[in-house]
Amino acid sequence: MILAEELTKILSSDQVTQNLTILQQHSQDESFHEPHLPDVVVFPKSSNDVSRILSFANEHRIPVVPFGAGSGLEGHAIPVQGGITLDFALMNRILEIYPSDFCVKVQPGVTRLQLNKELKKYGLFFSVDPGADATLGGMAATNASGTTAVRYGIMRDQVRDLEVVLADGRTIHTGGQAVKSSSGYHLNGLFTGSEGTLGVFTELTLKVYGIPECVMAARAAFPTVKQALNTATSILTAGIPIAKMELVDSRSILQMNRFQETDYPVMPTLFLEFHGNDNGLEQETAFTRLIAEEQACVDFIYESDSKERKKLWKARHHLSYAFRHGSPGKHIEGTDVCVPLSCLADSIEHARKKMEEADIDGAVIGHIGDGNYHTLLVIDPDDPNDRKKAHEINKAIVEFALQHGGTCTGEHGVGLGKIRYQRTEHGNALDVMMDLKRLLDPNHILNPGKLFPMSSPSTLNIN
Amino acid sequence: MILAEELTKILSSDQVTQNLTILQQHSQDESFHEPHLPDVVVFPKSSNDVSRILSFANEHRIPVVPFGAGSGLEGHAIPVQGGITLDFALMNRILEIYPSDFCVKVQPGVTRLQLNKELKKYGLFFSVDPGADATLGGMAATNASGTTAVRYGIMRDQVRDLEVVLADGRTIHTGGQAVKSSSGYHLNGLFTGSEGTLGVFTELTLKVYGIPECVMAARAAFPTVKQALNTATSILTAGIPIAKMELVDSRSILQMNRFQETDYPVMPTLFLEFHGNDNGLEQETAFTRLIAEEQACVDFIYESDSKERKKLWKARHHLSYAFRHGSPGKHIEGTDVCVPLSCLADSIEHARKKMEEADIDGAVIGHIGDGNYHTLLVIDPDDPNDRKKAHEINKAIVEFALQHGGTCTGEHGVGLGKIRYQRTEHGNALDVMMDLKRLLDPNHILNPGKLFPMSSPSTLNIN
């Protein structure tokens, strides 16, 4: 069977390509995982297109991998078994904005910045910010989160409904337009974060929020990571509805200063953001400052000016670039675990120690209101020894997290990189997950090779 | 087989009873649904007890129904096919409070008031308040919510981990202690709200919050329901993090005044609660007042005093009693739908019209930040005509909700009463739900007769 030819019987020929450059673009994501070419890339224009492709693929046991912006960090979009990559570039319309229902209906190829630009006209915003300008379909597939999760929740919290095409081509809706429901099983939650392994999203209804009246940022430097984290816990205990609360360790601040021309004190630092009204924020920030000072905070600076605030968050978001630019030719490998807040300080200390022992430079940063932290490891991608060291550090960090009640991935997802930790993390719940996979994708065509240590499907001979 | 005798081989004899009074107590909940006796009531003391009972029941195809406080409103705990009722009265311990992790580990028989009493010592609280002093196991099973969901979310949002005994006696954990995770399928969400049909909860890890510095309540009366609801939408658009936002219609206010000796203006009224710091609340309430006045609010009263605040919420929570006491011998039947906010005013108007057409008195009240509203219908339980009218009103309300993108149940769950609407609401997603049920409970022993229009299992002859 000539796969591309068969597909042009289903879609129009300009929706199907085997152009090598395009295949290569769809062979990788932003991670360190080995690229692999798909056999063909198709560009569906509708749910119906997706449904017909899946019916065909299911019948012929051909792997199908959905592709958004390619900004994933665990290899989700890499078609490790070849087959069909579904690129949602042509399904990138904002279908409807419902201002008084605080929700929007979008196609999966819409990116979060595209959505926020449009929402702004209505005084609304979409809260999840994973850093990259990811597609909303991809963010739902990996259950993305980021800096604002401490206040507004993760991607799964925003999903009211998904239109999902199942492996056999059936189309279902997992939820509805109501804010909440106790009707039936929570398919919204099951499909969000399923990483393309249970179905393909063709439409998303997502929660949005009113833009807060006032936004204020602050930066607070502490002698130790522990004191910064104690401050974070006290902020939460006080019920202060903090909107962002990021830890940047002192090594990272040093690199930030070099790259961004900032002159922040080279100490463990909290980057904070408050959303509310101006009176409330005044009191919240004053109270936060008091809490911080009890933890020996040596430098507490407000950035109420929007330009200064942008500079602060830019510095935070460009940390990976800062390290890369500081070490030409080097790459950054990230780690991503989430631990109970009470052991976050120990986890971070442990991670930094592992980096030092291996003589690997890099950052330690965290969405610490959630207990989610990352290391950014600076390595030479062509040095097998460096790659091995990065792998070992990642392993040590994950194992420490799992030993302390945490999870192997806070927000990047399982993809290829965290499969090996699934049994330890989930115990025999993994059997239930694998049963769900077999139930909904019996021929194992949906993003095979991801999430589970399951065998590959028996694919036909395709080219 | 003598069921009770067999069970005393598994548990100690004081954990197994066929005492008629106890069987009767477990034959019903707070709803209008027909009682049905279980064959036997058992009181497990541990996960292990539950596991052994389920293994036995699964082998012998005996229905198993978990029972918490019996405060459900859709017949969930009624053992419509007899069998074993599992009462969690002996599994009512708060196992651990993790103040710096903002979570608690409890057994399923712990009630929410019991938990909040203990949490107060740590400056923490558990947010979900469905009115009744339900057990946390029951609240997780039905995905309960209530007045605070607009700010803190519903029950499903609070669940970090469930220990679940599956139909075959296997025990799994659906999550972990981390605040968030992108690892594996969201079993937390799948099991929460599964109404005892997929597994039995034996331990819950739940999110808790820091008690806010300041709490302030307010009451605002409007000429029309529409104006009250416009105010609610504007409050949300403005990004005011309102903690409670309840609509009470004018007929309900009248009854409230008669029963509670309040003298609230007999008009559609918003009951509001704000959580924050005092400066912030001052500005939030002032801004809310401005928004309300734009909608012709005629009476805006603050209740910052905790005694007055309690009186206000007591009046709201005792509305059902107020109607019952006003009509001796009558019963209250509730309805429970959730609709997109944009059609809430029309839905409420439609509901009140249906009540008037049927000449049925009662309340219309709503958790309107979520679009969730209830009617409380005052009927004579011995009058078949009244029961029929209540049934018709409920049906009309649900159908209106489903026609407008809403759900047949906002917070009470499906149980027995909403089975008939599942196909209309979920379309072919219901097939996926039924497949999940078959996968996890192939012998159909777990709370059979609930949630789905599925056939009963072939039960053995039990007595």
Task: Tell me the C-alpha to C-alpha distance, in Å, between residue B155 and each of A220, B136, B146, B254, B349.
Answer: 35, 9, 9, 32, 29
Stretch B25-39: mean pLDDT:
96
* Amino acid occupying residue B236: L
Which residue, chain included where needed, has tokens 């205990």?
A237
Per the structure block, which two tokens stand in for A181?
Answer: 């429901």
Per the structure block, which two tokens stand in for A64?
Answer: 């199908």
As a whole number of angstroms, the distance between CA A425 and CA A403 comes to 9
In the structure, what pLDDT confidence band is assigned to residue B260 with cuts at 50, 70 and 90?
Answer: confident
Q: Which of residues 61-100 of B touch A (CB under 8 A)?
A: 98-100
Q: Give the pLDDT of residue B432.
A: 98
- Asked if pLDDT for residue A456 goes beyond 60, the answer is no
Q: Give the pLDDT of residue B353.
A: 97
Residues of chain B found within 8 Å of residue A178, distances taken between Cβ atoms: 338-340, 370-372, 401, 405-407, 410
3-state SS, chain A, equals CCHHHHHHHHCCHHHEECCHHHHHHCCCCCCCCCCCCCCEEECCCCHHHHHHHHHHHHHHCCCEEEECCCCCCCCCCCCCCCCEEEEHHHCCCEEEEEHHHCEEEECCCCEHHHHHHHHHCCCEECCCCCCCCCEHHHHHHHCCCCCCHHHHCCHHHHEEEEEEECCCCCEEECCCCCCCCCCCCCHHHHHCCCCCCCCEEEEEEEECEECCCEEEEEEEECCCHHHHHHHHHHHHHCCCCCCEEEEECHHHHHHHHHHHCCCCCCCCEEEEEEEECHHHHHHHHHHHHHHHHHCCCCEEEEECCHHHHHHHHHHHHCHHHHHHHHCCCCEEEECCEECCHHHHHHHHHHHHHHHHHCCCCEEEEEECCCCEEEEEEEECCCCHHHHHHHHHHHHHHHHHHHHCCCECCCCCCCCCCCHHHHHHHHCCHHHHHHHHHHHHCCCCCECCCCCCCCCCCCCCCCC
CB-based contacts of A56, cutoff 8 Å, min separation 6: A6, A7, A10, A62
Dihedral over Cα of A96, A99, A104, A110: its sign: positive
Nearest CA to B105 out of B200, B196, B176, B182 is that of B176
Q: Which helix (H) or strand (E) holds B96?
A: strand B94-98
Nearest 5 degrees, angle CA A300-CA A304-CA A308?
85
Residues of chain A found within 8 Å of residue B340, distances taken between Cβ atoms: 98, 101, 103, 177-179
In the structure, what pLDDT confidence band is assigned to residue A279 with cuts at 50, 70 and 90?
Answer: confident
Question: Percentage of residues in chain B with pLDDT exceeding 90?
Answer: 88
The larger pLDDT score, comparing residue A204 to residue A311, is at: A204
* Amino acid occupying residue B59: E
Per the structure block, which two tokens stand in for A405?
Answer: 């009640």
Test A428 with B170 for CB contact under 8 angstroms: yes
Q: Which residue of B has its CA nearest to A339?
A: B178
Phi and psi torsions of B121, nearest 5°: -60, -25
DSSP code at position B450:
S
- Asked if pLDDT for residue A460 goes beyond 60, the answer is no
* pLDDT tens per residue across span A366-394: 999 999 999 999 999 999 999 999 999 99
In the structure, what pLDDT confidence band is assigned to residue B455 with cuts at 50, 70 and 90?
Answer: low
* Amino acid occupying residue A182: S
Residues of chain A found within 8 Å of residue B410, distances taken between Cβ atoms: 178, 180-182
- Asked if pLDDT for residue A459 goes beyond 80, the answer is no
Interface test with A, best of B97, B139, B154, B183 (most A CBs within 10 A): B183
Is the Cβ–Cβ distance between B165 and A411 less than 8 Å? no
ipTM of the modeled complex: 0.96
Question: Percentage of residues in chain A with pLDDT exceeding 70?
Answer: 98
Cα radius of gyration (chain B): 22
Phi and psi torsions of B215, nearest 5°: -130, 135
Q: Give the pLDDT of residue A3.
A: 94
DSSP code at position B456:
P
Q: Give the pLDDT of residue A1.
A: 65
As a whole number of angstroms, the distance between CA A431 and CA A409 comes to 19
Question: Mapping DSSP to helix (H, G, I), strand (E, B) and coil, where does residue B422 land?
Answer: helix
The chain-wide mean pLDDT, for chain A, equals: 95
**DSSP E strand boundaries for B249-361:** 269-276, 299-303, 331-334, 337-338
Test A176 with B406 for CB contact under 8 angstroms: yes
Phi and psi torsions of A61, nearest 5°: 55, 45
Is the Cβ–Cβ distance between A197 and A142 less than 8 Å? no
Pairing of strands A200-207, A103-106: antiparallel
* pLDDT tens per residue across span A142-195: 999 999 999 999 999 999 999 999 999 999 999 999 999 999 999 999 999 999
Test A237 with B99 for CB contact under 8 angstroms: yes
Test A190 with B192 for CB contact under 8 angstroms: no
- Asked if pLDDT for residue B457 goes beyond 50, the answer is no
Using left for φ > 0, alpha for ψ between -120 and 50, and beta otherwise, residue A328 falls in beta
Cα radius of gyration (chain A): 22
Interface test with A, best of B165, B180, B208 (most A CBs within 10 A): B180
Residues of chain B found within 8 Å of residue A447, distances taken between Cβ atoms: none
- Asked if pLDDT for residue A462 goes beyond 50, the answer is no
B290 touches chain A (CB under 8 A): no
In the structure, what pLDDT confidence band is assigned to residue B231 with cuts at 50, 70 and 90?
Answer: very high
Where does B214-305 have alpha helices with state H? 225-237, 250-260, 278-294
The chain-wide mean pLDDT, for chain B, equals: 95
B48 touches chain A (CB under 8 A): no
Dihedral over Cα of A256, A258, A262, A264: its sign: positive
- Asked if pLDDT for residue B329 goes beyond 60, the answer is yes
Stretch A227-254: mean pLDDT:
94
A332 touches chain B (CB under 8 A): no
In the structure, what pLDDT confidence band is assigned to residue B103 with cuts at 50, 70 and 90?
Answer: very high
Domains of chain B: 3-89 (3.30.43.10), 95-210 (3.30.465.10), 214-315 (3.30.70.2190), 327-441 (3.30.70.2740)
Q: Give the pLDDT of residue A277.
A: 87
Q: Which helix (H) or strand (E) holds B51?
A: helix B47-60
- Asked if pLDDT for residue B126 goes beyond 80, the answer is yes
Interface test with B, best of A174, A182, A229 (most B CBs within 10 A): A182
Nearest 5 degrees, angle CA A217-CA A221-CA A223?
160
Task: Tell me the C-alpha to C-alpha distance, in Å, between residue B352 and each of B227, B355, B358, B365, B393.
Answer: 16, 5, 10, 11, 9
DSSP code at position B428:
T
- Asked if pLDDT for residue A310 goes beyond 50, the answer is yes
Test B176 with A405 for CB contact under 8 angstroms: yes
As a whole number of angstroms, the distance between CA A450 and CA A413 comes to 10
For A190, which of B181, B185, B407 is closest by C-beta distance?
A: B185
